[in-house]
């Protein structure tokens, strides 16, 4: 199995360009099933998770090809409405094809998405939305089928502002009869990017980015050209790398407005951040100040940045706290950081991190995508060599992470 080896090598310095966001690309690729003409996408990140959803789309009859760094998709003639089991079990986000398929084909059959390491990850809110729009939803031995001759618009209140449920129901509603109003829905920037893309296809969506989205159903959706927004979590990961190594790095292709909760917390921890258009410079300080973090749906602090900040806070001068409110089991990286010498205590949803503690290079395992990134960050400042296994998790969400860190001066290799 491949491993990533990291050794300390002083402050990181240099430039990194941030690529397209995984969590915008995946729903937009699912939404391309709704289009009946060519769709041209720019800045789709080259990730394992993207390859999986492209396989799912091909299995449904979509024609897909790369032209340079453009991805061309045509879903005019879909030939199936069933997502094959092993692809679905590989990635939960494949479930995002359900909404578009019900809208386009009147039927969708998916296997239950694999729960993943960070929690049970139910889909009850997705199914509640499909039922509200008039679909007959049935569970038969591990498969879910949803049928509807024609979906009918409805006012739907989400018990929790679930990102996936907001996306799935919004996509289904684009071809429904009449108007759908989604209340208490997710407000992440990736939701806005998806709504912008759908509107380019001919949908009529307003309110994306607020907690109320209105979707006026239309007869048909067409084609479009769209550039995926930059990945705020990848950007945040490199910003934490600058803070933890007292480095000085420049990030290109940033949407500052998407970075606000991350910028606020890094400044609170002592980093100096300068933004200018789509560029951002971050300088880490010698001393990192302890902080309190509580993960929340956007615009709160993103759960996808929790592990990365935990690595940094092992080096803060004092006691920090991180409360994870979004997922019920997203502290698996704690044990790996403790192997390196971190002093962290977890009680229920709160992790108390005592700093400043020296970290020592060790053999550790990536437990999930962001937990893996957190171990690279810890390895940048640990004494000795850190060997990270199970790095397939990291490759799901970070394009060429070793190359990018190497360009910033890190002593990092993939073996």
Report the nearest approach of ligand EPZ to the CB of residue 271 (Å): 22
Residue bearing tokens 């390196």 = 340
Is residue 35 within 8 A of residue 223, CB to CB? The reply is: yes
* Spatial separation of the C-alpha atoms in residues 359 and 314, rounded to whole Å: 8
- 160 part of the interface to ligand EPZ, by CB under 6 A: yes
- 327 part of the interface to ligand EPZ, by CB under 6 A: yes
- 370 part of the interface to ligand EPZ, by CB under 6 A: yes
Is residue 25 within 8 A of residue 234, CB to CB? The reply is: no
Consecutive H or E run containing 321: strand 319-324
- 322 part of the interface to ligand EPZ, by CB under 6 A: no
Residue span 38-67 as binding mask against ligand EPZ, x where in contact by CB under 6 A, dash where not: ------------------------------
Q: Which CA distances in Å does 14 have to 36, 276, 358, 397, 404?
A: 43, 16, 26, 22, 10
Residue span 297-316 as binding mask against ligand EPZ, x where in contact by CB under 6 A, dash where not: ------xx------------
Catalytic residue selected from 5, 78, 107, 116: 116
Helix runs in 305-368, H state only: 306-313, 333-339
Q: Between residues 26 and 176, which has the closer beta carbon with respect to ligand EPZ?
A: 26
- 230 part of the interface to ligand EPZ, by CB under 6 A: no
- 121 part of the interface to ligand EPZ, by CB under 6 A: yes
Q: Collapsing DSSP states into helix, strand and coil, what is residue 269?
A: coil
Q: Max Cα separation, the chain?
A: 63
DSSP lists the bridge partners of residue 181 as 155, 214
The residue number whose beta carbon is nearest to ligand EPZ equals: 164
Q: Provide the 8-state DSSP code for 135.
A: -
Task: Say how many C-beta atoms besides its own lie within 10 A of residue 113's C-beta.
Answer: 23
Taking CB under 6 A as the criterion, which residues in 232-291 touch ligand EPZ?
none
User: Which of 93, 144, 307, 401 is close enough to bind ligand EPZ by CB under 6 A?
Assistant: 93
Residue bearing tokens 């108390």 = 352
Q: Distance of alpha carbon 257 from its chain centroid, rounded?
A: 17
116 noted as active-site residue: yes
Helix runs in 356-400, H state only: 369-379, 392-395
Q: Between residues 54 and 316, which has the closer beta carbon with respect to ligand EPZ?
A: 54
Of the ranges 21-29, 78-86, 224-232, 335-343, which one interacts with ligand EPZ (CB under 6 A)? Answer: 21-29
Residue bearing tokens 């437990």 = 367
- 26 part of the interface to ligand EPZ, by CB under 6 A: yes
Report the nearest approach of ligand EPZ to the CB of residue 139 (Å): 14
Report the nearest approach of ligand EPZ to the CB of residue 165 (Å): 5
Catalytic annotation, residues: 116
Per CB under 6 A, residues contacting ligand EPZ are: 22-23, 26, 93, 119, 121-126, 160, 162-165, 303-304, 326-327, 369-370, 397
């Amino acid at each position: 199995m491949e491993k990533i080896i990291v050794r300390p090598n002083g402050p990181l310095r240099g430039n990194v360009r941030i690529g397209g966001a995984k969590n915008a690309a995946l729903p937009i690729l699912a939404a391309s099933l709704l289009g009946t003409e060519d769709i041209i996408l720019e800045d789709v990140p080259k990730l394992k998770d993207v390859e999986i959803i492209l396989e799912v789309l091909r299995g449904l009859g979509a024609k897909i090809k790369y032209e340079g760094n453009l991805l061309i998709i045509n879903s005019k003639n879909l030939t199936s409405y069933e997502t094959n089991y092993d692809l679905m079990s590989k990635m939960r986000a494949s479930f995002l094809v359900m909404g578009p398929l019900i809208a386009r084909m009147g039927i969708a059959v998916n296997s239950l998405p694999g729960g993943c390491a960070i929690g049970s990850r139910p889909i009850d809110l997705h199914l509640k939305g499909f039922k509200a729009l008039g679909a007959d939803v049935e569970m038969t031995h591990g498969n879910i089928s949803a049928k509807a001759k024609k979906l009918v618009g409805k006012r739907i209140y989400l018990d929790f502002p679930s990102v996936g449920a907001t996306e799935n129901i919004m996509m289904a509603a684009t071809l429904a009869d009449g108007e759908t109003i989604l209340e208490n829905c997710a407000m992440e920037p990736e939701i806005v990017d998806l709504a912008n893309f759908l509107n380019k296809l001919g949908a009529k969506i307003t309110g994306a980015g607020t907690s109320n989205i209105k979707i006026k159903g239309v007869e048909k959706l067409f084609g479009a050209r769209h550039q995926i927004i930059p990945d705020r979590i990848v950007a945040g990961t490199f910003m934490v790398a600058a803070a933890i190594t007292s480095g000085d790095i420049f990030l290109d292709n940033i949407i500052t407005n998407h970075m606000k909760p991350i910028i606020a917390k890094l400044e609170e921890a002592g980093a100096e951040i300068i933004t200018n258009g789509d560029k951002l410079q971050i300088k880490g300080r010698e001393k990192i100040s302890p902080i309190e973090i509580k993960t929340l749906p956007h615009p709160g602090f993103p759960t996808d940045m929790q592990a990365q900040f935990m690595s940094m806070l092992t080096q803060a001068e004092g006691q920090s706290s991180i409360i994870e409110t979004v997922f019920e089991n997203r502290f698996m990286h704690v044990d790996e950081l403790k192997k390196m010498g971190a002093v962290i205590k977890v009680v229920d949803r709160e992790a108390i991190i005592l700093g400043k503690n020296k970290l020592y290079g060790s053999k550790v395992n990536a437990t999930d995508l962001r937990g893996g990134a957190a171990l690279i960050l810890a390895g940048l400042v640990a004494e000795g060599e850190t060997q990270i296994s199970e790095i397939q998790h990291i490759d799901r969400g970070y394009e060429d992470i070793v190359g990018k860190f190497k360009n910033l001066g890190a002593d990092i290799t993939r073996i």
